[in-house]
Structure 1
């Protein structure tokens, strides 16, 4: 079994966003949704719903972002 970076999608109220993706990225998003559906058994009818958990996962694992955010919060707490 493939170990994908995101798991099942939470049943959450959708929020409408508009985003322009390069065609290649959109094709990859569709492929990712298909693979994730097979892996989790959860049908993903709209691959766009993967964007938010992917961005969240990216930010959660970005060490430079975490350090900068921590410095900003520390500065805000002092100021």
Structure 2
């Protein structure tokens, strides 16, 4: 097997989730999407922003990262 700098890409098949959220959270997500559009000049649907928001949250949660790293 060749030695490549780029490792094999992980599974990128999307997983569909259906969730219910409170009206307050829905409003906050709409407000965030509006601010995103104002900031970047590009409108994005809330459903397209949610995965990035969740990933950002998980990547910045030190307690989660510590525990996850210890269990790997």
TM-score range, shorter chain: 0.7 to 0.9
Structure 1 gap ranges (5+): 1-12, 74-79
- The alignment's TM-score, normalised by the length of structure 2, stands at 0.74
Pairs aligned (count): 60
Give the CA RMSD over aligned residues: 1.7
Deviation at 1:47, TM superposition (A): 1.2
- The alignment's TM-score, normalised by the length of structure 1, stands at 0.68
> Of the two, which has the highest radius of gyration?
2
Deviation readout 1:1-50 (Å, 9 max, x if unpaired) = xxxxxxxxxxxx97543110000000110111011001001121x21211
Give me the whole-angstrom Cα distance separating, in 2, the residues matched to 1:21 and 1:65: 23
Question: In the TM superposition, what are the counterparts of 1:2-41 in structure 2 within 5 Å?
Answer: 16-41=16-41
Deviation readout 1:44-71 (Å, 9 max, x if unpaired) = 1x21211111110010000011110111
The SS at the match of 1:42 is coil
